[in-house]
Amino acid sequence: MEYQELTPEAIKNFRKDGGLSQQNLALILGVGIATIKRWEKGKINPSGTAAAILNTVIAASLGKPIKTDAGTVCAGIATAKEIYELLKKVFEE
């Protein structure tokens, strides 16, 4: 089985494919924009709830499971844009 690593490139590509700015992603995940920048540069790794959300949505958007220290996050099939729209709807309510 092919796995996707939660790399800085995977985070940045997911964000860009979904049409999200760093600021939008930071707001959705409840972190600062500086944190997003550090993740995308590989200076720090996502952790806690933000990491769990990123692992899940990136796995879903790629259709591949993501291998993490805690195990494997299963993949569904959705596009980054569909996931963004779903998250946006949840946070607007």
Walking along the chain (93 residues) 10 residues at a time, the average pLDDT comes out as 72 88 89 96 89 77 60 50 66 62
Lookup result for tokens 């709807």: 89
Q: Both ends of the chain: CA-CA distance in Å?
A: 38
Q: Which CATH number applies to 8-92: 1.10.8.60, 1.10.260.40, 3.20.20.70, 1.10.3720.10?
A: 1.10.260.40
Where helices occur in 18-77 by DSSP H, the ranges are 22-29, 33-41, 48-62
pTM of the full structure:
0.66
Strand partners, 71: 68
Q: Given this model, what pLDDT does residue 51 score?
A: 82
Look up residue 71 and give its two tokens.
């195990």
